[in-house]
Amino acid sequence: MAQQLHLWRKPRAEPSRNPRTLFVCDAGDAPGSEPHGVVRFECVECGHQTGWFRSRGVELEKKGRVCPRCQGDPERAAAAPPPDRGDA
């Protein structure tokens, strides 16, 4: 028996924001940081900059990380105090 076509599609789910807004802004080498080196991150929503972290590898870091300050939410970024430019 032939399968009947679906004439009505389910409505699409609301688009969800990617919470990963922390992207690499600087990378380098440090003693003991093999094999991937160290990286710093900057948030594209709130401008928060992190200190140096050991990198998990290029492919993983390209996906970004979740910002500890705004969690990728623009409303939280507006409410948060201005970013400190030191190592936090």
Segment contacting Zn ion by CB under 5 A, of 9-17, 26-34, 47-55, 56-64: 47-55
Q: Could you say which of 48, 50, 61, 64 contacts Zn ion (CB under 5 A)? A: 48
The single residue listed with the structure tokens 């401008």 is: 47
Tokens 């948030």 locate to: 43
What letters, b where the CB count within 10 A reaches 16 and e where it falls short, cover 29-47? eeeeeeeeebbbbbbebbb
The reply to whether 39 sits near Zn ion by the rule CB under 5 A is no
Residue 65 in contact with Zn ion, rule: CB under 5 A: no
Does residue 69 bind Zn ion (CB under 5 A)?
yes
Q: What are phi and psi of 43, to 5 degrees?
A: -85, 130
Chain positions contacting Zn ion, by CB under 5 A = 43, 45-46, 48, 67, 69-70
